[in-house]
Amino acid sequence: MIRVNHHNGVIAYKMGRSLGPYVPYMTHAFQIGRTLIDTGTRFAEREFLGALAGSVKSIINTHHHEDHIGNNNAIQKKFGSEIIAHPLAMKYIIDPKTIPLKPYQKAVWGRPLPSKAAPAGDSINTEDCRFQVIHCTGHCDDHICLYEPDKKWLFSGDMFCGIRNIYLRKDETFPKQLESLRKLAALDIDVIFCAMKGVVTGRKHALTEKIDFMEKLRDTAIEMNRKGRSVKEITRRLLGFEDMMWAITMGHFSKKNLIESIIGSPV
């Protein structure tokens, strides 16, 4: 399934795997002229390639996750596109079999096919944009965000994903996320192009609001931990019981992961 939206010269492709009438966990890729930022899920290959506006000269991957590099292979094959990503993402893009995928990830997004890629430097100039490349850890080590200072655009990959995020992947790090978000919040941003939320406009201070939410959660959790409360207790008190997210991902995403990452180690 694919939906296409336009915003000031940026095309947003929202896509996901159709399971009957249900399309779980959709993701976005963005196109500016002949440049694509991320390529979505392999399960939407036919629709995505059919919807693309013209040829693709360059692909920039924000990180190696399977819902961001899913159509690298198909697009590179069709257009001979160059692919650029963080140096640490090279091994996964070149050989996606090395990406450790859980069953839910294989079912929802699929395993990408191999493609050729080259490492990004501190900036990427395309035909339409001059991107500053901002290395942002916390989601994964090879994540980059792209900032276009003249247009005040931020392509945030999976670093924003809404303000009140109450789950954490087992391999994510809360303090590193906070550090990365502070770097991004210092930029003058008008529009966030988020892989999960799509085009985020009219929220000049969205990143600051997210940081405030995270800092308050962190301070409260640490204080409760200092008073001897267990991770389980803190999780339930601050975030509620685990839900479908925990069940579907078999604990890969959970509220407990978030509190554990704040506190540093289980108590």
How many residues of this chain bind Zn ion (CB under 5 A)? 2
Least distance (Å) between residue 139 CB and Zn ion = 6
252 counts as binding Zn ion under rule CB under 5 A: no
Partners of 153 in the β-ladder: 148, 191
Span from 16-24, 50-58, 104-112, 154-162 in contact with Zn ion (CB under 5 A): 154-162
Q: Which is nearer to Zn ion, 23 or 195 (CB)?
A: 195
In angstroms, the CA 263 to CA 226 distance is 10
Least distance (Å) between residue 67 CB and Zn ion = 7
Span from 25-33, 48-56, 148-156, 158-166 in contact with Zn ion (CB under 5 A): 158-166
Task: Classify residue 3 by its DSSP letter.
Answer: E
158 counts as binding Zn ion under rule CB under 5 A: yes
- The closest alpha carbon to 97, from 110, 88, 87, belongs to 110
Q: Which is nearer to Zn ion, 74 or 140 (CB)?
A: 140
Q: Locate tokens 């959660």: which residue?
A: 217
Whether the Cβ atoms of residue 45 and residue 74 lie closer than 8 Å to each other: yes
Q: Which is nearer to Zn ion, 143 or 255 (CB)?
A: 143
38 counts as binding Zn ion under rule CB under 5 A: no
Span from 59-67, 72-80, 204-212, 242-250 in contact with Zn ion (CB under 5 A): 59-67
Whether the Cβ atoms of residue 93 and residue 117 lie closer than 8 Å to each other: yes
Least distance (Å) between residue 59 CB and Zn ion = 16
* DSSP secondary structure, 106-132, as one string: HHHT-PPPP---EE--SEEE-SS-EEE
List 64, 65, 86, 252, residue binding Zn ion (CB under 5 A): 65
Least distance (Å) between residue 106 CB and Zn ion = 15
Whether the Cβ atoms of residue 143 and residue 231 lie closer than 8 Å to each other: no
Q: Are strands 253-254 and 191-194 parallel, antiparallel or unpaired?
A: unpaired
Task: Classify residue 146 by its DSSP letter.
Answer: E
Least distance (Å) between residue 65 CB and Zn ion = 3
> Of all helices (H) and strands (E), which one includes residue 179?
helix 174-185
Q: Which is nearer to Zn ion, 62 or 73 (CB)?
A: 62
Least distance (Å) between residue 195 CB and Zn ion = 7
Binding site for Zn ion (CB under 5 A): 65, 158
